[in-house]
Amino acid sequence: MSRIDDSLVLNNLILLNRRLRKAFDARASALGLTFSRAQALLMVARNEGKSQTELAEILHIETPTLNRALDGLEKTGFIERRAQADDRRIRRVFLTEMSKQKAEEIVTFSADLRHDLFHSLQNEELDQFNTFLQRLHLNLDDIEKNG
């Protein structure tokens, strides 16, 4: 593939990411959430009781970036942070009762968005696309390790 084609692929990936976030934000805003906060809330729902650092690692973001999303979720009553008994510097993150319903709603509209996005692809195409994306993730892992 030539350099021009490489740059077109990268530009398409970047544009796709922006458009997906915009579509997700439009649906999340009905619940009073942004993309970042909805993703953080789902991550907490799947990993309740994990520390803020562990959650940031799972999301592949910096801890301060996650903390901003968690601050907003905490202020609106979606999560609570509890200090770990044996090391009060470690704060574990838990859903509140109110946010458990919101997490279910996010799962529902996320499934709807995936359906709307992928309905025109055959299973084999989607499988192949996912394989390509996984390989790109591995390449990025190497880039992050080696600089």
| Domain locations along the chain | 3-146
**What stretches of the chain show up as alpha helix (H) in DSSP?**
3-28, 35-46, 52-59, 63-75, 97-118, 123-146
- For every residue of 27-41, DSSP letters joined together read HHGGGT--HHHHHHH
Which tens digits make up the pLDDT trace of 19-40? Answer: 999 999 999 998 888 888 888 8
pLDDT of residue 2: 58
Q: What percent of the chain has pLDDT over 90?
A: 69
Structure confidence by residue, pLDDT tens digits, 48-86? 999 999 999 988 889 898 899 899 999 999 999 999 889
Could you please state the CATH topology (level 3) that the domain comprising 3-146 is classified under: Arc Repressor Mutant, subunit A (1.10.10)
pLDDT tops 80 at residue 147: no
